[in-house]
Amino acid sequence: MTASIDAHVRLDTHPTHPSAVQAHLAGTQARVASMALEAAGWSVAATGVLVLARIDHEEPYWAADAAKRLTAEGITVEITPRLQEAIDEEWTWVNYPMPWCTRSEIREVSSEAQKIHDDIRNGHLLIHAHAHDGHTTVAVGTYLHRGGKSVYLHGEDHLRQVADTFDSPAEALVAFEKVHAAEMRPGPAPLTDTERAAIAARSVFDVTADKSEPSRPQPDTVPVYLADAGDHDALLDSFLDEHGEFGWWRTWSDETTHAIHESQTLRIERVHETQGREIAWTVAAYETPVSDRMWHLTATGATPAPALQALLTHLADGEGWDTVIGVPVDERTVTTATQPLTEAGWKHTLTGHGIRWTSPDGQASIRFDPLTAQAPQNSATWTIWAGPDPDRPTWTITASPHTPSSLLADLSETLAHETGTRQAQPGREHRLRLAAGVSAAPAVTSGQPARRSR
Q: β-strands 220-223, 419-422: how paired?
A: antiparallel
> 247: helix, coil or strand?
strand
Q: What is the pLDDT of residues 64-91, one digit of tens each?
A: 999 999 999 999 999 999 999 989 887 6
In whole angstroms, give the CA distance from residue 343 to residue 357.
11
Q: What is the DSSP string of 156-212?
A: SGGG-EEEEEESSHHHHHHHHHHHHTTT-EESPPPPPHHHHHHHHHHHTT------P
Q: What dotted CATH number matches 8-91?
A: 3.30.70
Q: What is the pLDDT of residues 18-37, one digit of tens each?
A: 889 999 999 999 999 999 99
> 85: helix, coil or strand?
helix
Which has the closest alpha carbon to 197: 119, 252, 141?
Answer: 252
Q: β-strands 395-399, 419-422: how paired?
A: unpaired
| pTM, to two decimals | 0.50
Exposed / middle / buried, residue 353 (Cβ in 10 Å: 0-12, 13-18, 19+) = middle
Q: What is the pLDDT of residues 143-179, one digit of tens each?
A: 987 678 999 999 999 999 999 999 999 999 999 999 9
**Annotated domain spans of the chain:** 8-91, 103-199, 220-422
Ranges of residues in the chain with a pLDDT under 50 are: 1, 206-215, 324-326, 424-454
In whole angstroms, give the CA distance from residue 139 to residue 346.
51
pLDDT at position 378:
59
Tell me the average pLDDT of the chain: 82
In whole angstroms, give the CA distance from residue 390 to residue 403.
22
**Are the C-beta atoms of 122 and 114 separated by less than 8 Å?**
no
In whole angstroms, give the CA distance from residue 279 to residue 267.
15
Q: What is the pLDDT of residues 322-335, one digit of tens each?
A: 554 445 577 888 99
